[in-house]
């Protein structure tokens, strides 16, 4: 396992649509492991493969001491609306106000090739939408009603 180099706003790869994973092999499992390590190192909430320079439909979310590893995730249901302030590891120093569904259901495949469904509301729903947007080359700043510089922490 290793830390992956993050890609930042302005890098063309962040604007490209990631390709589906056709076969789960050692490279995909290593990617998932490295993304977990990178996410943990950066103290982030979520990470999509394009953010580490890999154009594959793979994302990882860490929330409430649980990891959600998703291969080829697809939102199959969304309900309600919430207004949140979001930030992104690939857009450092900024945050933005954005509307997201209050609830989403996502179908994906795990590292063992087994399909699963994850349902989330509030923060998990927003994180799922945020990471799946990355897989389509969309950044939260594209949808935000306003973007501002984060205040420096003392």
How confident is the model at residue 152, as a pLDDT? Answer: 42
User: Residue 85: enclosing H or E segment and its boundaries?
Assistant: strand 82-88
Q: What is the mean pLDDT of each run of 10 residues along the chain (154 residues)?
A: 93 98 97 97 96 98 94 98 96 95 98 97 98 98 88 43
Q: Which DSSP string corresponds to 86-141? A: EEETTEEEEEEEEEE-SEEEEEEE-TTS-EEEEEEETHHHHHHHHHHHHHTT--HH
At 73, is the secondary structure helix, strand, or coil?
A: strand
How confident is the model at residue 65, as a pLDDT? Answer: 87
How confident is the model at residue 55, as a pLDDT? Answer: 98
Would you mind telling me the total number of residues written for the chain in this entry? 154
| Catalytic hit among 64, 131, 150, 153 | 131
What pTM was estimated for this model as a whole?
0.94
How confident is the model at residue 81, as a pLDDT? Answer: 98
Please confirm, yes or no, whether 150 is among the known catalytic residues.
no
How confident is the model at residue 91, as a pLDDT? Answer: 96
* CATH 3.90.45.10 assigned to 12-149: yes
Is the CB of residue 91 less than 8 Å from the CB of residue 140? Answer: yes
How confident is the model at residue 1, as a pLDDT? Answer: 63
């Amino acid at each position: 396992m290793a830390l992956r180099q993050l890609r930042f706003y302005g890098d063309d790869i962040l604007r490209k649509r990631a390709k589906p994973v056709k076969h789960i092999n050692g490279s995909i499992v290593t990617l998932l492991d490295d993304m977990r390590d990178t996410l943990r190192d950066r103290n982030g909430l979520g990470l999509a493969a394009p953010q580490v320079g890999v154009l594959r439909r793979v994302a990882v979310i860490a929330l409430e001491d649980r990891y959600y590893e998703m291969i080829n995730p697809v939102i199959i249901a969304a309900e309600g609306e919430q207004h949140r302030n979001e930030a992104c590891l690939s857009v450092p120093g900024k945050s933005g106000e954005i509307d997201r569904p209050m609830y989403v259901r996502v179908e994906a495949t795990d590292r063992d090739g087994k399909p699963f469904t994850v349902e989330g509301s509030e923060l998990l729903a927003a994180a799922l939408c945020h990471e799946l947007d990355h897989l389509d080359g969309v950044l939260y700043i594209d949808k935000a009603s306003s973007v501002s510089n984060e205040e420096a922490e003392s």
